[in-house]
Amino acid sequence: MHGGANSSVAVAVLIAGVITTIVTAIIRRSPSRATARATREGVLFVVSTRMWQRVLIRTVGIAVLPLAVMLLLAAAFVRDPEIGMVIAGAAMLVGGILFTLLARGMKRMRLEVTPDSVWSFGLVRGPNAVPLAEITRLEPNPGDRFGGILAKTEGTTRFGATRLMLGYPQLIDFLQHTRPDLPIPDGSWPLQQRAATAR
């Protein structure tokens, strides 16, 4: 029993590692500039999620929803439904809805960079202006397996970006030039730049 569980974990870790390697290789060879339009005047460039990320998450959400409904309907028409079927159906329904909403939020999530500030658009909240002068340190983004950067004022995160995002190399270059007093963390350099250095 334990051997089967251990092998399942090993396979899951292996698959996650392979996916990470493949996605990293694709990002290193793909365009890095965002094509999203800015919502305000004076924006130098935009940092945004990639379309394939949003499409993938939305597709998973849409695919899960009918399966969830089928499970719940099957449980409703069975005299003594298994509790596992009801729980699985409910979990899949909630998960499908959340994935669909996440895809919508990712479409609006972005950074719009101006000469003296960064406008941060969250998944649900409105835009928030972050003056560059208020940033006190830059840290690696621990919440993403591909890495990224967090801009902080003391202990508060003001905005963040991942290395998968379009416009990320431009953001790092911009921060280097406008705030040379803040070192870029080792885990935050663009994937494209690492590929160029390796050559």
What residues contact 173, with CB distance under 8 A and at least 6 apart? none
How do beta strands 117-121 and 110-113 pair? antiparallel
Domain regions of the chain by residue span: 33-48+110-198, 57-105
Residue 23: pLDDT band (50, 70, 90) is low
Please write the tens of the pLDDT for every residue from 102-118: 888 778 889 999 999 99
Give whole-number Cα distances, 101 to 123, 143, 144, in Å.
9, 20, 19
Across 72-76, 79-83, 125-129, 167-171, the highest mean pLDDT is recorded for 167-171
- For residue 126, pLDDT over 90 is answered with no
User: What's this model's pTM, rounded to 2 decimal places?
Assistant: 0.67
CATH 3.40.50 fits domain 33-48+110-198: no
- The set of residues, in sequence order, having a beta carbon less than 8 Å from that of 139 and lying 6+ positions away, is 149, 150, 152, 185
Q: How many CA atoms lie within 13 A of 193 on its CB side?
A: 14
Please classify residue 181 by burial: count the beta carbons closer than 10 Å to its beta carbon, then call 0-12 exposed, 13-18 middle and 19+ buried: exposed
Question: So what's the pLDDT on residue 198?
Answer: 35
